[in-house]
Structures are given as structure tokens and as C-alpha cells.
Amino acid sequence: MTETLSLGPLLFHWDAEKKRDFYFRIADESCFDTVYVGEVVCSKRAPFFAPYLTEVVERLQRGGKQVILSTLALIMSEPEMEHVINLPETTDLLIEANDIGTAALLTGRPHVIGPFVNVYNEGTLEYLANQGAVRVSLPWELPSESLAALAKSATVELEVQIFGRMALAISARCYHARAHGLHKSKCQFVCAEDANGMSVETLDGEDFLSVNGCQTLSHTVCNLMDELESLREIGIQAFRISPHAIDMVAIGQTFRDVLDGETSAAEGQRKLADSVHFAPFSNGFYHGEDGAAYVS
């Protein structure tokens, strides 16, 4: 069986036209089977891209992609709540719930559980499957032993992120705005200045984390190229790549070629190293080590 290769939702705040053109290229040139669209981090960003969303979805579908609509990871206002409540009536797309309240609203309707929902044990996985989930994208921090245990009991498709900065936390406050001396309500959308997130350093000047609006990401880029075969062996069927401001068509093709046996993992690693220059790789969570570590 050919595994599903997914492009996760774009977490960063890019210019609306740049974002539109990015998805057009993904539709026309990429090998991704599934593409997630929708605002996950900050609802204030959504209106910028809203005029292009229908066109982007149609283009992706014409390109043979399954399109899944991602939702907010943290709902903090009445308008955000109303949007989520009304969403099942306004779209025919499969919806990804990134908040357990959103998942409850989708009960009885096929949907996806996103990695922001804590699925750490078989009981939670079974409950969500019984509620209508058809795919569960597992949290970034799970080690291989936990992934194997979940895969053994799963009755739904399981997805794991194999590339991209990892989401560590999300807050009601906007770190990005505060770093520029601004309040969240008058943030001037300064997060748009950092296409891959804003680096945060320790007091010793070492890169430590990355900030994306009110979201905290890892500084390192998760890279499970060498772990693809073991992920496949334990029963993971879907592999998620998180988009960044690099050539995502090439990144997707590199992983697809390794999954299909067209090239070796070592060659795949060389290509990734040539493409990613803004941060080092990590795979520590998978090996039960510190998340920022890279275990060769």
C-alpha cells in the first residue's frame, strides 16, 4: 500500500498573494496526496486569505489533492466559537479539529483529529474513532514506543509529522507583538516579517525556540527521513510535512522518492540538507530523547 503524503496547514502569516501562489504551485507541481488549508494559529490572519480560499481549494482538487480544512488550535472569543459551530454547515470538506471542543461539534460526521489534540493512549484514540474521526494526526512529542502502541490498536488512519518545526505551545498572548513593543489588539501583523518564525535566543545567545504570533515552535526542524521505514513497520500510514518558506515541492518529492524506494534515505538526507539552511534538524522526540536532539 502506498502511504499518504500530506502537506499540513501553513502555520505562518504570509502575504495573501504569496500564500495563494504557493498553493497553486502545490496543486500543479507537487506529489502531495492531501493538503490541509485553513488558519490554525490566529483568527486575525484569516480575513487576508479568505478571498482566495475557494479558488485555492478548487485548484488543489483539480490537481488531484484531497483538501482538508484545518481549524484553530485555541478558541478564545465568541466570533471564533460561532465560526466553528457553523463550519459543518458551510463546507463539504473534511474538517481537521485542532481543539477538543471542535472535535465534539463534529461528532457523527467524518473528520480528522489534528496534532494539537492530546492523543496519548489507546482509550483516547478509541473514543475519538467512535465519535467519527477517520484520521488522527498524532502529537509531535510521542516516542516510537508510544506510536507503535497506538498503531497496534488503531482502527483509523494514523498520521505523524516527519518534517518541519514542531508546535510546542499556543497562548492567548502574542509573543511576536510583545517582542516589538506592541499589544495583541494592535499587533500590526508583525508576524508577517518572519516567514519561518522569529528566533528566540537564550541569555548565552544560542537559538532556542521560534515564535510565530501566539504560537511557540521548536527552533529545530523535525526530520524523520531516517525513521520512515520504522514508522512504516509499526503501522503509520500517513506522513505529514509542515510547510516553510523553502521549496516545498522539492521537499515533498524527496520524501516521496524515499517512501517509494526510488532513492535511499541517505540521498534524501543530502537533498534536505541542501534545502534547509534556517535551522538544524532534530529527531529526539521519536527516540525518547530531548526534542531538540538529533540521533543518528
Q: What is the CATH number of the domain that holds 97?
A: 3.20.20.70
In terms of DSSP bridges, do strands 198-201 and 207-212 run parallel, antiparallel, or are they unpaired? antiparallel
Give residue-wise pLDDT tens across range 135-174. Answer: 999 999 999 999 999 999 999 999 999 999 999 999 999 9
Q: Kindly state whether residue 248 falls inside one of the protein's structural domains.
A: yes
Whether 16 maps to a domain, the answer reads yes
218 touches 291 (CB < 8 A): yes
What is the reported pLDDT for 55?
98
pLDDT of residue 1: 53
| Cβ atoms of residues 280 and 218 within 8 Å | no
Segments forming the whole domain that contains residue 155: 4-165+221-279
Q: Is residue 183 part of a domain?
A: no
- Provide the number of structural domains found in the chain: 1
pLDDT at 147: 98
Cell 477538543, residue?
A: 100
Domain-embedded: residue 197? no
Report how far residue 156's alpha carbon sits from residue 107's, in angstroms, rounded to the nearest whole number: 15
Q: What angle do CA 210, 211, 214 make, to 5 degrees?
A: 150
**7, 26 Cβ separation under 8 angstroms:** yes
Q: Is 186 within a domain? A: no
CA atoms of 197 and 95, how far apart (whole Å): 26
10 Å CB burial of residue 86 (0-12, 13-18, 19+) is: exposed
Q: Give the integer Cα–Cα distance in Å for 133 and 138.
A: 13
Whether 216 maps to a domain, the answer reads no
Residue stretches of the chain with pLDDT short of 70: 1
The span from the CA of 109 to the CA of 86, in Å, is: 14
Contact at 8 Å (CB) between 224 and 138?
Answer: no
Q: State the pLDDT at residue 2.
A: 74
